[in-house]
Chain A
Amino acid sequence: MSTPTKEAAEPASKIDMKESGGGGEVPSFDVTLQVRRYDPEFSDEARWDEWTVTMYGTDRVLDALHKVKWEIDGSLTFRRSCAHGVCGSDAMRINGRNRLACKVLLKDLDLSKPVLVEPIKGLPVEKDLIVDMEPFFQSYREIMPFMVNNSPAPTGERIQSPEERERFDDTTKCILCAACTSSCPVFWTDGQYFGPAAIVNAHRFIFDSRDDAGDMRLEVLNDKEGVWRCRTTFNCTDACPRGIEVTKAIQEVKRAVLSRSM
C-alpha cells in the first residue's frame, strides 16, 4: 500500500485537531504502592511491601503491579490474564474495595496516600495476591450453572422472546472474578455461605424460560447457608466490576424461593 506521504494534506478541515491531537505528553506522576505480601515458603506472617514508581495518566493499578514485578521485584505474585476486565483473574482489594486491577485507573485514586493492594478477603491466601478460588468454584458448581431442559431437543434453536431474555440479562454478565463473594461480610466469617456469585449464576438459569431445573436450584439455595444468609449490605453490588445489580438478583431469588413454597 503506497499512499502519498503528504501527511499535511489529509486533515484539511480538522485544523482544531492540531492543538488537541498530535499526542501531547501524557502526564506522569509518582505512585506509592503498598502491597500485602505473603510467602509461606519463607514466613507464616504476611507483611506490607512498599514501592514508589513513576506512572502515567493512562496507567491502571495492574500496570503499576507489572512495573514492580518486571522491573523491581520479580517475586511479586498476582493473577492476571486478559488485563482488560473480561477474564476476571485480577480481582483484588484496592484501597479497601474489591476491584479488578485492570479496570482501576491510577489517576482516579487519591495518590497523595499510598495505594493499598491486598488479596480478596475470605478465601485462603496462597501467595501474595493469589487466593485459593476452589471453595468459590465449589459453590458455583453446586447451583448447576448449565441449562437443563427435559423436553426433546428441537431441530432448530429454542426460541425465546426478547422479554424472556431480558428477564435474566443482568446476571449473564458475571465473569466469576469473586469480587462480590469476597466483599460479603457474611462470607468473611462463614465460608460455607454460597455467596453472591453462586446466587447470581443460579439466577441466570432460574429465570431463563428455556431452563427446567429452576426448582432444583431454588431447593439448593433454600439451604441454611443459602439466600437467607444475605443481609443486603450491598457490598456485592458495589464490588461487581460488570455493574451487575447483585443484591437485587439475590432478592429476586429469595422471592422465587418464597413463592415456590407458598
Chain B
Amino acid sequence: MTTTKSDALLPAQGIEAPRSGRIDPKYLRSGSSKSGSFEMAAWVFMRVSGAALVVLIFVHLTVNLLVGEGIHQIDFGFVAGKWANPVWQFWDLTMLWLAMLHGGNGMRTIINDYAEKDSTRMWLKSILYLSVIVIIVLGTMVIFTFEPCLLDGSGQLLESSPSFCQNV
C-alpha cells in the first residue's frame, strides 16, 4: 500500500484532498523551467538596445537623408565613402547587430506569446534564429569587405561598376 502525503495529513485515511492532483498539466510549471536569468538579461537588453537604437538610427537617417544633398547623394560611392571611415563602419555594425538582436528578441517573445503548440513554436523560432544569423553574418561581411569597383581577371574594371570608379 502506498502512503501519499495527503493520507498522512487528512484524518480520513485514503480520501484525497478536494481537487488534489486534478490540475491540467498545461498549467504545471516543470522544474526545468528555470531560466537562469536569461529572461531577465533579454528584458534588460531590450531596454538598453532600444535606447541606443534611437540615437543610432536617427543619426543614420540624418546623415544619409538630410545633410548635404539629401537623398540624391546616396549611391555606391556615398556608401563606399562612409565605410572608408572606421567610425561609420563601427556605427553601422553596432546598428546592424543591435537592430537584428532587438528585433529578433521581440519576435521571439511574440512567438512565445502566440504559438500554442510546442512544435509550431519550435519551427517558428528555428526559422527566426536562422534568418537572424544569416542577416547578421551577411551584413557584417558587407560592412568590412564592401568594394564598389570590382576588377576582372585582367585588371579591367567590370562594366557594371559605377561611373566614379573611372576616376579612382
Contacts and interface: CB of A to CB of B under 8 A. Distances in A.
A192 B113 contact: no
Interface in A110-124: 124
B114 interface: yes
Interface residues of B, number: 23
B43 A228 contact: yes
Contacts, number: 59
Contacts of A257: 40
Contacts of A124: 24
B26 interface: yes
Contact of B27 (A192, A222, A226, A228): A192
Size class of the contact patch on chain A: 20 to 34
Nearest to B26: A191
A138 interface: yes
B24 A225 contact: no
Interface stretch (B30-38, B149-157, B159-167): B30-38
B17 to A, nearest CB: 11
B119 to A, nearest CB: 15
Contacts of B35: 222-224, 228
A261 B37 contact: yes
A222 B29 contact: no
Nearest to A124: B24
B24 A135 contact: yes
A190 B43 CA distance: 18
Given A189-B113, A190-B113, A223-B35, A135 B27 contact: yes
A258 interface: yes
A224 B33 contact: yes
B33 A192 contact: yes
Interface of B: 19, 22-24, 26-29, 33-35, 37-40, 42-44, 109, 112-114, 116
Interface of A: 124, 132, 134-135, 138, 185-186, 189-192, 222-226, 228-229, 231, 254, 257-258, 261
Enumerate the 5 nearest inter-chain pairs by beta-carbon distance, A residue then B residue, closest first: A135-B27, A228-B39, A224-B35, A191-B27, A224-B33
25 contacts: A132-B22, A132-B23, A134-B22, A135-B24, A138-B28, A185-B113, A189-B114, A189-B116, A192-B33, A222-B35, A222-B39, A223-B29, A224-B39, A225-B33, A228-B39, A228-B40, A228-B43, A229-B39, A231-B109, A231-B113, A254-B43, A258-B40, A258-B44, A261-B37, A261-B40
